[in-house]
A and B are shown apart, each in its own frame.
Chain A
Amino acid sequence: MRVAISIAGLFLITVLAACGESGKPSASPAGGSSAPVALRFQLNWVPEPEFGGFYAAQADGLYRDAGLVVEIIKDPGGGSVPQLVARGTCDLGVVSGDQILQLREQGGELVAVYSVFDHTPYGVMVHAKDAPESLEAVWKGTGNLALESGLPVWKFLASRYGPTTRTVVPYGGGTATFLADPKAASQCFITAEPATMDVQKVPVKVFNASESGYDPYTVVVAVKPGQVPDPVLQRFCAASQEGWKRYLATPSKYNPAIAALNPAMSLEAMNAAAERMRPLLDTPWTRANGLGSMDPARWKAMAEMLLQAGVIKSAPESSAIMRPMGTTPSKP
């Protein structure tokens, strides 16, 4: 009886939500209108240096100068930002590149317009003492490996190196278990765990996931096709790019404001994180093409790799899942 009621209730709530929010575009159509355009920008994590450039753009009034009122919404970790963007609940959202592909297969359409990182910030972290020599050696080692089940990168590593011989435990409970176990390995995000270890003066070795050949655009800004008019998108991306430029130049100038929004991360850790992430943002590609820009060939490669690893059933064209900055996105 209770199953029936709870299923019925769940179904009712979801249907009402579905009927209610059908993604009406919130931004005004004409590009030259004098009224500032409001944008709801949903982050997929708490305020951190990985979003530094956006906060810098906010702080320096760059969005305002571009005729935009950007509301940056933080996320304590619910994990459903792709769905929120696909429903139109928010205009823009930060998602992981592979999530765009996964969501496609479940009926949700998203398009990436800006990528914070040029190389993936995901990796595996081990203690520096007696550390293995390579990512593959870690993967084929013994001991615990804390990772987020369901992340495509691990499926890819399994398809590339074979199943891991480590005992897989959940990731996300904090670093206490990693600290206590000298043989432990843990998934890490460049601005998070390694920075925390730096601050705690714990020597670690970080293997970037790209070592395996899988290097997706992670931390991308995505929109639902048709949700935000192209001129507005362009202005947003341009302002964000400038914000990122300024952030990378002097992160310590903007980190205090971010730290104020996130009491769980110390200013010291944030500064350490900014330094750690720099080489992943400031690369030959981005120097040539601008911060935030994306290479369609790499999107295509990622789709192929995920197809190979069995994460997705079909690899779409890169034009369906990303729009380089400045190009007009249109419904396929």
Chain B
Amino acid sequence: MRAVRAAFPPVLVLALALIAWEVAVVAWSLPPYLLPAPSAVARAAWSDSARMAAATLETAKAAVGGFALAAMLGVALGSALGSSRLLQRGFYPLALLFQMVPLVAIAPLLVIWLGYGLRSTLASACIVAVFPVLASTLDGLRSTDPGLLEIFRIHHAGRLSRWWKLELPSSLPSIVTGCRVAAGLAVIGAVVGEFVSGYAGDRAPLGIVITTGMREARTDIVFAAVALSACVGFLLFGIVSTLGWVLLRRWHASATPET
């Protein structure tokens, strides 16, 4: 139950913030289109729960799928760059491009290349999430203990053997950190991608719920959708962290309980 105790402070802060928000809306008579009260947001989500749930599921598919792809791609590309100084110097700046180009500019292109729907939203989630994993993988590989590298050299270990048995496990703490960052970004990428590629109708993802809500001046719906996408982000972050803990708890300081 340490988890429950750990969750208490942020939950308390959140509750206080929500109460203050509700009070402020009432006290200042803020119109709903400007700032809806948390109760209005909750009501908007509840009264439309089927649509909101379906939308959250759609967005979650894109975010989780995009993240998984980004994690695999990031580790693969990071390992490829880590294996050769030349490759690194040639391709690292290009990899940075993933990070730099604004998603809102690429997203329409993705629609043209991949079509509407899950394929392009997953792609936009992936694009945004790749770089943190790539960079953290590369960083981890480059920080491999030279003493251990020597042990592998002494025993004439092959390249693949070295990567799989030494460099990758050694980089795991760094990769997990990169994945944590990537998780949140994947959700943002999915939602932004949905703005231009999501289907409307009963399979509409959260991005479409947001754009529709904005067009209808329904700020309460927009807030509800934003809160739900934040939940997806939290869920993904939690999954990544738990996986990281499982992989690292036996041997890495970062995953062992505080004494």
List chain A positions with a Cβ less than 8 A from chain B.
Answer: 1, 3-4, 6-8, 11, 14-15, 18-19, 79-80, 82-83, 86-87, 99, 102-103, 105-108, 144, 147-151, 167-170, 172-174, 176-177, 180, 311
State the CA gap A148–B31 with chains docked (Å). 25
Contact of A170 among B10, B14, B31, B211 (CB under 8 A): B211
Measured CA separation A25–B76 after assembly (Å):
61
Given A7-B14, A11-B35, CB of A99 within 8 Å of CB of B198: no
Contact A103 B14 (CB under 8 A): no
**Once the chains bind, are B230 and A3 in contact (CB under 8 Å)?**
yes
* Contact with B116, one of A103, A105, A169, A172 (Cβ below 8 angstroms): A169
Closest 4 CB pairs of A and B: A107-B31, A150-B215, A106-B33, A150-B212
Distance between Cα atoms of A144 and B117 in the complex (Å): 12
In the complex, the answer to whether B18 meets A7 with C-beta atoms within 8 Å is yes
Contacts of B212 in A (CB 8 A): 149-150
**CB-CB < 8 A to A149: which residues of B?**
200, 204, 208, 211-212, 215
Q: B169 an interface residue at 8 Å Cβ cutoff?
A: no
Per the bound structure, the CA–CA distance linking A66 and B174 in Å amounts to 67
Collect the chain A residues with CB atoms within 8 Å of residue B30's CB.
14-15, 18
Q: How many Å from the CB of A66 to the closest CB on chain B?
A: 32
Q: Which stretch, B89-97, B125-133, B145-153, B216-224, touches the partner chain A?
A: B216-224
CA separation between A78 and B28, bound complex, in Å? 26
Question: CB of B26 within 8 A of chain A?
Answer: no
Residues of B within 8 A of A102 (CB): 216-218
Which chain A residue shows the least CB distance to B112? A176
In the assembled complex, the Cα of A11 lies from the Cα of B28 at a distance in Å of 13
Q: Could you show 29 A-B contacts with beta carbons less than 8 Å apart?
A: A1-B13, A4-B13, A8-B21, A14-B34, A19-B28, A79-B215, A80-B214, A82-B33, A83-B33, A86-B33, A106-B219, A107-B31, A108-B31, A108-B33, A108-B217, A144-B116, A148-B211, A150-B211, A150-B215, A167-B199, A170-B195, A170-B196, A170-B197, A170-B211, A173-B108, A173-B197, A174-B108, A176-B108, A180-B112
- Tell me whether A170 and B200 are in contact (CB under 8 A): yes
Residue B32 at the A interface, CB < 8 A? yes
Give every chain A residue within 8 A of B28 (Cβ-Cβ).
Answer: 15, 18-19
A62 CB to nearest B CB, Å:
32
Chain B, residues 210-240, CB within 8 Å of chain A (1/0): the string is 0111111111000000010010001000000
A131 CB to closest chain B CB (Å) equals 22
Let me know if B216 and A3 touch, CB within 8 A.
no
Q: Does B24 contact A (CB under 8 A)?
A: yes
A7 touches B21 (CB 8 A): yes
Give 17 A-B pairs besides A102-B217, A170-B208, A177-B116 with Cβ atoms closer than 8 angstroms.
A3-B227, A11-B17, A15-B28, A18-B35, A83-B33, A99-B217, A103-B33, A106-B33, A106-B217, A106-B218, A107-B32, A108-B33, A149-B204, A151-B215, A168-B201, A169-B197, A177-B112
Bound-state Cα–Cα, A261 to B138, Å: 46
Residues in A whose Cβ lies below 8 Å from that of B198: 169-170
Residues B217 and A82 in contact, CB atoms below 8 Å apart: yes
Q: How far is the CA of A82 from the CA of B33 in the complex (A)?
A: 10
Residues of chain A with a CB closer than 8 A to B14's CB:
3-4, 7
Q: Which of A3, A80, A149, A168 has the most CB of B within 10 A?
A: A149
- Of the candidates A3, A107, A168, A173, the one whose C-beta lies within 8 Å of that of B200 is A168
- The answer, among B24, B196, B201, B213, for a CB contact under 8 Å with A173, is B196
CB contacts (< 8 Å) of A3 on chain B: these are 14, 227, 230, 234
Of A1, A87, A168, A172, which contacts B196 at CB under 8 A?
A: A172
Closest chain A CB from B137 CB (angstroms) = 24
Contact A15 B215 (CB under 8 A): no
Interface string of B187-201 (1 = CB under 8 A from A): 000000001111111
- Kindly state the separation between the CA atoms of A328 and B256 in the bound complex, as whole angstroms: 73
Q: Counting CB contacts under 8 A, is B134 at the interface?
A: no
Closest CB in chain B relative to A8 CB, distance in Å: 4
Q: Which residues of A contact B214 (CB under 8 A)?
A: 79-80, 150
Task: Write out the residue numbers on chain B whose beta carbons fall within 8 Å of the beta carbon of A150.
Answer: 211-216
Q: Closest Cβ of chain B: how far from A219's Cβ, in Å?
A: 16
A177, B213: Cα distance in complex, Å: 24
